[in-house]
């Protein structure tokens, strides 16, 4: 997986305008009643339409480059998601994400902190991310995997694996045959 490097000192006027638009949409989303059509319209605008049928994200939401966040169908995301999406974040269908989760697809170069180092995050179909978990750049969480509450995931999680802790470690593997096809 190739790393994208972004020099924040070289922001263009277009980058600044996109950032300002995102801030406005985030403010509007975070101050709109979630059960209204206006809320869903604002969420779709914020994600450039990248949200599937039957998916819902509870405000408040925070993050960067949210146009690079792609949410599949039937996804439920509870409040206080932090989505640093400069490296790209893809959430496949039927994923559940609890409150206070951090998806961090970008980091800073340790020697030049104005350089962002970015790798995509992929959360596969049917995964469940527990409250307060952190998923780091470049990580794939496999189909039907479970990330326990407050886990810090620094490496890929295989299909049906259950991980907990900091750093997250596999504690069991679920029976793949028990999931609906």
CATH label of the domain that carries residue 18: 2.160.10.10
Residue 179 lies inside a defined structural domain of this protein = no
Residue 178 lies inside a defined structural domain of this protein = no
- Calculate the alpha carbon distances from 32 to 4, 61, 110, 127, 149 in Å: 34, 12, 38, 28, 28
With contact defined as beta carbons under 8 Å apart, do 69 and 45 qualify? no
Confidence bin at 59 (pLDDT 50/70/90):
very high
Look at residues 144, 134, 152 and name the one whose alpha carbon lies nearest to residue 173. 144
pLDDT reported for residue 2: 85
The alpha carbon dihedral of 8, 9, 15, 18 has a sign of positive
What are the residues whose beta carbons fall under 8 Å from the beta carbon of 30, sequence distance 6 or more? 59, 60, 61
Instruction: Indicate the number of domains in the chain.
Output: 1
- pTM, two decimal places: 0.96
Percent of the chain with pLDDT over 70: 100
Residue 155 lies inside a defined structural domain of this protein = yes
Sort strands 161-164 and 169-173 into parallel, antiparallel or unpaired.
antiparallel
Confidence bin at 67 (pLDDT 50/70/90):
very high
Residue 153 lies inside a defined structural domain of this protein = yes
- Mean pLDDT, residues 151-175: 98
Residue 180 lies inside a defined structural domain of this protein = no
Q: Which residue has the higher pLDDT, 153 or 2?
A: 153
Query: pLDDT tens for residues 3-35?
Result: 999 999 999 999 999 999 999 999 999 999 998
Residue 99 lies inside a defined structural domain of this protein = yes
Residue 42 lies inside a defined structural domain of this protein = yes
Known catalytic residues are: 108
What are the residues whose beta carbons fall under 8 Å from the beta carbon of 145, sequence distance 6 or more? 124, 127, 128, 157, 158, 159, 160, 161, 162, 163
pLDDT reported for residue 119: 98
Domain enclosing residue 146, as ranges: 4-172
- Mean pLDDT, residues 61-69: 97
Look at residues 10, 23, 14, 110 and name the one whose alpha carbon lies nearest to residue 64. 23
Query: pLDDT tens for residues 105-144?
Result: 999 999 999 999 999 999 999 999 999 999 999 999 999 9
**Is pLDDT of 50 > 80?**
yes
Residue 150 lies inside a defined structural domain of this protein = yes
CB under 8 A, 24+ apart: contacts of 78-87: 78/131, 81/57, 86/4, 86/6, 86/116, 86/118, 87/4, 87/118, 87/119, 87/120, 87/121, 87/137, 87/138
């Amino acid at each position: 997986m190739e790393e994208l490097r972004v020099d924040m000192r070289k922001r263009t006027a277009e980058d600044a305008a996109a950032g300002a638009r995102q801030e406005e949409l985030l403010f509007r989303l975070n101050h709109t009643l979630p059960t209204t059509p206006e809320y869903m319209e604002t969420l779709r605008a914020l994600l450039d339409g990248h949200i599937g049928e039957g998916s819902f994200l509870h405000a408040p939401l925070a993050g960067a480059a949210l146009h690079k966040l792609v949410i599949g169908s039937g996804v439920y995301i509870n409040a206080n998601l932090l989505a640093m999406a400069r490296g790209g974040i893809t959430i496949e269908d039927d994923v559940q994400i609890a409150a206070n989760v951090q998806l961090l697809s970008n980091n800073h170069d340790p020697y030049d902190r104005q350089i962002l180092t970015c790798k995509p995050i992929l959360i596969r179909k049917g995964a469940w991310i527990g409250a307060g978990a952190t998923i780091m750049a470049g990580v794939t969480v496999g189909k039907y995997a479970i990330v326990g509450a407050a886990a810090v995931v620094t490496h890929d999680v295989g299909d049906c694996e259950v991980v907990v802790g900091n750093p997250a470690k596999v504690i069991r593997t679920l029976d793949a045959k028990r999931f609906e096809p």
